[in-house]
């Protein structure tokens, strides 16, 4: 599994942003769209900061960019401050020239009986566009990618899942207590992620060292869904030195 270690999160994030920018420009030159799989959470924020800077200061355009976010809490209203819709607007979309029609984030407002069909459509939209060119990922302390918690199957698709207790605890600060964190989420599956032509998993700081070690060096197992990434030829881990500190 290819692992690149940077001295710090800032340099690593700039490197990832530059790769995304190169992909966007390359597609632009060919008159094509760049189809990006995006993540929320703390991990990618500096990547988005740099993409915004490249847009504002260096003319990078997002007109040909189509995005699919990994996940959303369920239930969740898009205008709630804890929603991933609100988050993505705040950290990226409000600051670049992306066409709003090109943004896709799982809908946390649907009645439960409609979710199955909705998830199939989400997958179909991605494949109709030719698949994801690049998926960026963070990693949860449970070993989740997206919200594919322990027990997720390697061929899983977009679906409604139950969040792990540790994941809800880690989210509790944003919700003012774990009891306010939704128990469920809609997430792209491991199989959905695997179809991306390129996958970059990022992790920063010592709190991720243990799970990064398991993901990179541990036995492949449903107990740590990120270990499935060892089976992909298109994956790269980009770490700061603290997140990489447990690797042998
Ligand atoms: C977010 C997502 C999650 C996070 C993971 C790490 O869309 O799918 O897998 O990437 O929980 O979260 P942070 O970055 O906040 O440590």
Residues above pLDDT 90, as percent of the chain: 100
- Return d(Cα 61, Cα 24) in angstroms, integer: 8
pLDDT digits (tens, 9 = 90+) for 54-90: 999 999 999 999 999 999 999 999 999 999 999 999 9
Please give the tally of structural domains in the chain. Answer: 1
- Return d(Cα 37, Cα 67) in angstroms, integer: 6
Q: What does the chain come to in residues?
A: 248
Which of 43, 189, 209, 224 is the best mutation target for the ligand 1 pocket, counting ligand atoms within 8 Å of the beta carbon and taking the most? 43
Q: Is residue 247 part of a domain?
A: no
Q: Is the pTM of this model over 0.80?
A: yes
CA nearest ligand 1 atom 9, residue: 146
Q: Which residue segment(s) compose the domain that 124 sits in?
A: 3-240
Q: Is residue 39 part of a domain?
A: yes
Using DSSP bridges, classify how beta strands 34-38 and 65-69 pair: parallel, antiparallel or unpaired.
parallel
Average model confidence (pLDDT) across the chain: 98
**Ligand 1 atom closest to 40 (CA):** 7
pLDDT digits (tens, 9 = 90+) for 196-236: 999 999 999 999 999 999 999 999 999 999 999 999 999 99
Q: Is residue 246 part of a domain?
A: no
Q: Is residue 180 part of a domain?
A: yes
Q: 174: domain CATH number?
A: 3.40.50.1360
The edge-to-edge listing of strands for the beta sheet with 134-137 is 3-6, 235-240, 199-203, 134-137, 34-38, 65-69, 103-104
Q: Is residue 248 part of a domain?
A: no
Reported ipTM:
0.99
113 is catalytic: no
């Amino acid at each position: 599994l290819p692992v690149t270690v940077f001295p710090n999160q800032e340099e690593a994030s700039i490197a990832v942003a530059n790769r995304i920018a190169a992909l966007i420009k390359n597609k632009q030159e060919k008159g094509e769209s760049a189809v990006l799989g995006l993540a929320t959470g703390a991990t990618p924020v500096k990547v988005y900061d740099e993409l915004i800077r490249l847009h504002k200061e260096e003319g990078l355009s997002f007109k040909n960019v189509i995005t699919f976010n990994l996940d959303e809490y369920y239930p969740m209203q898009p205008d709630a401050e804890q929603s991933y819709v609100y988050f993505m607007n705040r950290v990226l979309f409000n600051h670049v020239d992306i066409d709003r029609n090109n943004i896709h984030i799982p809908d946390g407002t649907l009645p439960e009986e409609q979710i199955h069909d909705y998830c199939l459509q989400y997958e179909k939209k991605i494949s109709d566009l030719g698949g994801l060119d690049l998926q960026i990922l963070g990693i949860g302390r449970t070993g989740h990618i997206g919200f594919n918690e322990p027990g997720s199957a390697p061929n899983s698709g977009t679906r409604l899942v139950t969040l792990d207790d540790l994941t809800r605890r880690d989210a509790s600060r944003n919700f003012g207590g774990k009891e306010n964190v939704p128990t469920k989420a809609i997430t792209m599956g491991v199989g959905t992620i695997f179809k991306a032509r390129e996958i970059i998993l990022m992790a920063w700081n010592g709190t991720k060292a243990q799970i990064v070690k398991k993901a990179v060096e541990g036995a492949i197992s449903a107990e740590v869904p990120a270990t499935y990434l060892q089976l992909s030829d298109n994956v790269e881990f980009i770490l700061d030195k603290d997140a990489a500190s447990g690797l042998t």
